[in-house]
Copies of this chain bind each other. A is one copy, B any other.
């Protein structure tokens, strides 16, 4: 069975391309094409396995029915879960999704945004490097529908779906405090991301509330690329020299790397040092000991962002900014003791 086009159907049925196109787009009744003709067209199309060329359709309609997803790394568990949820929602609404990873490179991000636009995506969902304010502003100026996820630009008015990093970390730190920990370290990544500074802020304010003197704490920044190597020294220092009784990891990858080192050193968790991770991981409950973690509503980030995007693509109340700040959940397991 060979590929069939609109003009083939028209010719076979002795109709014009217009009629066939209209009927196939379910506008037959509206245009008052006879039921019989409609039936014939649809049957023929089905029998011959006709599907319109989306490139042509997109070109003439000025929309592609695809959306672009730009994230730091598709192979990162957090983002791939979001990607999954987004795809489900997209499929339901007849959209395809194109993904691209920035690997935290703002230049790459700018290029990817551009490429997506040239592909005529109808909208974008972006977990930005947060170093491309200019490009995001451009999107706004050009009226391209988009929503920011996970990371946003506080200085720009945009749609976004993020998580309450501050509150999440503050709760978690209080949890540690209530369990009697007094010397709590905070290990994070050296990166200018609002999410990370918010988490740090939540940690600090919880400590203040409990009147923990600042030199009973420790703030460690590791580099995004070098953290697996730097973690060993950091942990050794915290344990032996500074004598911490708890360590908070600001992301799950840090937690995994940190616990790896803690294990190597034979440090007892939680007896000697309690540990806590922002962000979950599939196997956190079977690690020894199971890790207490701040769970992000990953699926919901995907769902909400997609809903907002579809709304703005369809031009519904585009002038109202849609901001969602989702709550996290503290999943208490054994790594903080009791």
Contact = CB atoms under 8 A, between A and B. Distances in A.
Nearest to A299: B75
Given A51-B118, A84-B75, A118-B51, A260 B286 contact: yes
A120 B53 contact: yes
Contacts of A283: 256, 281-284, 287
Contact of A55 (B58, B91, B260, B284): B58
A52 interface: yes
B54 A120 contact: yes
B55 A59 contact: yes
A23 interface: no
Interface residues of A, number: 50
Contacts of A137: none
Contacts of A87: 74, 99-101
A256 B284 CA distance: 10
Nearest to A288: B288
B84 A73 contact: yes
A13 B55 CA distance: 29
A77 B80 contact: yes
Given A51-B114, A53-B59, A75 B66 contact: no
Interface string A284-315: 11111100000000000000000000000000
Interface in A1-43: 3
Contacts of A3: 142
Nearest to A261: B286
Interface string A62-87: 00101000000111110011011101
B119 A96 contact: yes
A54 B68 CA distance: 14
11 contacts: A52-B118, A55-B58, A59-B59, A74-B74, A74-B84, A75-B85, A77-B282, A80-B83, A84-B101, A282-B283, A283-B284
Nearest to A51: B118
A118 B53 contact: yes
A76 B58 CA distance: 31
A118 B54 contact: yes
A189 interface: no
A259 interface: yes
Given A54-B118, A76-B80, A96-B119, 15 more contacts: A51-B117, A51-B118, A53-B118, A55-B119, A66-B98, A73-B84, A74-B74, A74-B84, A75-B81, A96-B98, A98-B98, A99-B99, A281-B283, A286-B287, A288-B289
